[in-house]
Structure 1
Amino acid sequence: MTTRCSVQMDRAAFLAWAERQEENHEFVHGNVVRLAPRTRGHALIAFDLFRALDGRVDHDIWTVLPKFGIDVGPSTIRFPDIVVDPADGPTTDRTATAPVFLAEVMSPSSERIDLGDKAAEDLTLPSLGTYLVVAHDEVKVWV
């Protein structure tokens, strides 16, 4: 479940503000949206996926990043559960430079967003090779 907040700002202000927040937020069409807290199951699946990918990529070429920002338009910044991005990005970056892989762990309450809005936005990224959605309450994956 997501909640739209009454906070309005631009992309740069959002990224600076989001760093100081305890809860997770996304910037969707110019609006700040608070994300629901993750369940243990969600966190375990995301962590296992992170470990599996991080153990297999060439770290001279790729970086595997958990909950890292992607810029999907002039007024939208999302934070997928896992992002694989080129390793040469500056350490001060707040969003991925050219993500090639994105993964979302989907809960029943996020199905419409993960398979709908986010998929549509993410698939417009020219660098993206794979968008993966993993169900957290059943054995099911969408690629």
Structure 2
Amino acid sequence: MYLYIISALLILIIFFLISEFYFKRHLNIPRSNLHLLSKDRNKKFARMEFFSLLCYFIIGLVLINLNIVSQTISATLILGFLVLANAIRAIELWKFKRKEKAYYYHVLILGLSLLLIIITFLGERYLI
């Protein structure tokens, strides 16, 4: 359990250091406030993110009803949606606002979320 908390804190510190000091101060990249209900979002990407959220919600309900939910599966569902949502946002920003380079933040979150998923699976398989 402590491995998850320590690794999550380390990943949070790494995110803060890279985003705040390197992206924001060194490269002068502004952070975009892109979320599901933003007005300036492309409708196709907003729909993709909404349907992925809906699919993860339905999968979660099915797993809860089948009593298959463990801590690893629930954490993977949440992190999986985070990975998918940030991948959709990164592709959208890269496609439509490439010069602003705001997609760097979403790619960073995507990579660190994948790292947290890997740590979760390795932690359950080898440490527990």
TM-score (norm 2): 0.34
Larger strand share, 1 or 2: 1
Which structure's relative contact order is higher, taking Cα pairs within 8 Å and 6+ residues apart? 2
Indicate the structure (1 or 2) with the bigger Cα radius of gyration: 2
Bigger fraction of residues in helix: 2
